[in-house]
């Protein structure tokens, strides 16, 4: 009988995991299987971050006007969420599975959201936001 040894997950250097994002872009639009995409609540933008330095989508769509942004974390690393060009209007921050939210008003257009923790945007923590 061997004593059970605890499983220790080594925390590797950031950047090894980038290739995974290439595999994720399979949704071509149309049809939409059951449960494939939850219909977003109007005026709410929900974004999930994880420890592969990625968001849960490459493109988010929301209606123009007042928007509540819910930023949810499914990992442990510290992440932030800002919108390029209007970083002073909204800055959300999560870690350890937490969540943060904020409200701002957006005009129609194309925006870029990203995490401003050093190195994370370069690692892929960037996505498009279409406001229509
Ligand atoms: Cu980050």
- The pLDDT tens digits of the residues spanning 28-46 come to 434 433 444 445 567 999 9
Does some domain include residue 107?
yes
Does some domain include residue 26?
no
- The pLDDT tens digits of the residues spanning 71-103 come to 999 999 999 999 999 999 999 999 999 999 999
Does some domain include residue 60?
yes
Does some domain include residue 75?
yes
Does some domain include residue 3?
no
Q: Which residues span the domain enclosing 69?
A: 42-131
Map the chain to HEC letters: CCCCCCCCCCCCCCCCCHHHHHHCCCCCCCCCCCCCCCCCCCCEEEEEEECCCEECCCEEEECCEEEEEEEEECCCCCEEEEECCCCCCCCEEECCCCEEEEEEEECCEEEEEECCCCCCCCCCCEEEEEEC
Number of domains in the chain: 1
CATH code where residue 75 lies: 2.60.40.420
What is the 63 CA–ligand 1 centroid distance (Å)? Answer: 25
Does some domain include residue 12?
no
What is the 116 CA–ligand 1 centroid distance (Å)? Answer: 7
What is the 100 CA–ligand 1 centroid distance (Å)? Answer: 14
pTM of the model: 0.69
Does some domain include residue 125?
yes
What is the 72 CA–ligand 1 centroid distance (Å)? Answer: 12
What is the 4 CA–ligand 1 centroid distance (Å)? Answer: 35
Does some domain include residue 52?
yes
């Amino acid at each position: 009988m061997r004593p059970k040894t605890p499983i220790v997950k080594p925390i590797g250097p950031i950047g090894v995991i980038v290739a995974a994002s290439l595999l994720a872009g399979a949704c071509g639009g149309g049809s939409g299987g059951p449960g494939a995409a939850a219909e977003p609540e109007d005026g709410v933008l929900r974004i999930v971050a994880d420890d592969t330095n990625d968001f849960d989508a490459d493109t988010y769509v929301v209606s123009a006007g007042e928007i509540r942004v819910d930023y949810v974390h499914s990992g442990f690393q510290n992440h932030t969420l800002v919108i390029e060009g209007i970083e002073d209007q909204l800055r959300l921050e999560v870690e350890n599975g937490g969540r943060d939210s904020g409200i701002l008003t957006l005009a129609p257009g194309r925006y870029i959201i990203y995490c401003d923790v050093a190195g994370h945007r370069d690692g892929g923590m960037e996505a498009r936001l279409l406001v229509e």
